[in-house]
Structure 1
Amino acid sequence: MNPRHRARILPAVCVLALVVFGWYATRSVRPPDCEVTFSAFTGSDGQPLPENGEPVTWDELSERAYQDLVAAGRCEPPSARWRHWIG
């Protein structure tokens, strides 16, 4: 690879890395100190039983339990990942 070609690629790679880092830093996440616990009845396959005839997943049950904690004031709502980095 000749030096001129490398000189064009390096700024593009740096800009791409900056964009990816910015995207990652601004994703919304739960606070790390919020402990979410819940329970559910499961079938023989280990998946939660349907609620009101609707199938549910473990992720949906976890999100519902987290939203209940936020509504009760026991956990902070989700915020950008970078806010957790600065404390």
Structure 2
Amino acid sequence: MKRKRRVRMLLACCVVAVAAFGWYASTAVRPPDCEVAFSAFADGDGQPLPENGEEVTWDELTERAYQDMVSSGRCEPPAARWRHWVS
């Protein structure tokens, strides 16, 4: 009985490991060779100043700069992580 339990536990661990690897490999990421640079004015706390009366974060500004580079053709759009491994 103990051996069957170990086999089932090993099988469950393998299934979880394969599922986790599949999720990790299929997650969409930006191309590693695309460098995004932008500038913005910041307040005394280091947070970007509001644009058009709306609060923004550094992450939003970075994403906006990346999307501008994608639409202008200077960067590739996000793709599954495994595609970067094989290219």
TM-score, shorter chain, exceeding 0.5: yes
Structure 1: how far apart are the matches of 2:55 and 2:19? 38
Distance 2:39 2:27 in 1: 28
Name the counterpart of 1:5. 5
The answer for unaligned runs of 5 or more in structure 1 is none
Q: Does residue 1:79 correspond to 2:79, yes or no?
A: yes
Identity across matched positions, percent? 69
**1:65 counterpart = 2:26:** no
Q: What letter matches 2:62 in structure 1?
A: S
* Structure 1 segments of 4+ aligned residues over 6 angstroms from their partners: none
Question: What amino acid maps onto 1:47 in structure 2?
Answer: Q
Instruction: Note the residue ranges of structure 2 that are not aligned, 5 or more in a row.
Output: none
Q: What CA distance in whole angstroms lies between the structure 2 residues aligned with 1:35 and 1:60?
A: 16
Give the Cα–Cα distance (whole angstroms) in 1 for the partners of residues 43 and 19 of structure 2. 44
Report the 3-state secondary structure (helix = DSSP H, G, I; strand = E; otherwise coil) of the residue aligned with 1:53.
coil
Q: What count of residue pairs does the alignment treat as equivalent?
A: 86
Matched ranges for 1:3-82 at <5 A: 3-82=3-82
